[in-house]
Amino acid sequence: MATPASSTAIPALGTHVREHTSILAAGEKRLLIWMAHRLPRWVNSDHLTALGAVAMVATAAAFAAAALDVRCLGLVPVLLAVNWFGDSLDGTVARVRRQQRPRYGYYLDHVVDIANTAVLFAGLAVSGLCSPWIAMALLVGYLLLCGESFLATHALGVFRISFAGLGPTELRLLLSAGALAAVGQPQLHPFGWGPFSLFDVGGLIGAVGMAVVFVLSAARNTRALYLAEPLPPAGPQCR
């Protein structure tokens, strides 16, 4: 989800840089590189992408199963850790081994992410922990951010992975903490109101936050493009 740092110059189409400034980004990058150097050579990026996708589908299934037994939520942190391993390490392995396939990797990674997120929120919607409308709002917010991000990557050449210090890893940790908290205390009484579902409260905050980020990013990127491509002077009128 991209915004230029300071320059209004637009990079050539087909090239982009990754901008990742989340709270854990620096330490996570060092850990991923360390693991990539020690991964068996027979494990490649496609294997890791598939592992991450399967783990996310399993996470959605664990949420859905919570409708029958809330203890299934105990599987969520483990499955999200497996998803992090596959989803975060696939690109690092390709870069460390100098086996990048930029267009293939970019497309596959993000199309899998979109499908995985849709499945995850579907699992959350039938879990009984969250209103289906809140789950739908989260999915819509995520898809809006994805669309804005992909457009900005193409037009501005910067792919932003995190916002306000939060990236995919931080969101996995928050989701894991919420799942564990919901095992023992699935209801909240904010300001004496309620009870409300923990995931309804958190989901509403998340959906509003994504809407705000979408509007701010769209406005920022539109301004950057407007400055980079000023309206040319009017030429002679055609008759």
CB atoms within 10 A of CB 24: 16
Asked: is 21-228 a CATH 1.10.3720.10 domain? The reply is no
State how far the Cα of 208 lies from the Cα of 200, in Å rounded to an integer. Answer: 12
Residue type, 147: G
pLDDT digit string (tens) for 134-176?
999 999 999 999 999 999 988 888 888 877 778 889 999 999 9
Q: Where are the domains of the chain?
A: 21-228
Closest CA to 32 of 84, 67, 72, 105: 84
Read off φ and ψ for residue 44, nearest 5 degrees: -115, 180
pTM: 0.84
Model confidence at 92, pLDDT cuts 50, 70, 90, reads: very high
Residue type, 169: T
pLDDT digit string (tens) for 72-86?
999 999 999 999 999
Closest CA to 39 of 84, 85, 77, 1: 85
State how far the Cα of 8 lies from the Cα of 110, in Å rounded to an integer. Answer: 26
pLDDT score, position 8: 44
- 3 state SS of 159: strand
pLDDT score, position 111: 95
Closest CA to 93 of 76, 109, 107: 109
Our CA dihedral for 94, 98, 102, 107, rounded to 10 degrees, sits at: -10
- Is pLDDT at 1 greater than 60 in this prediction? no
Mean pLDDT value across the chain: 87
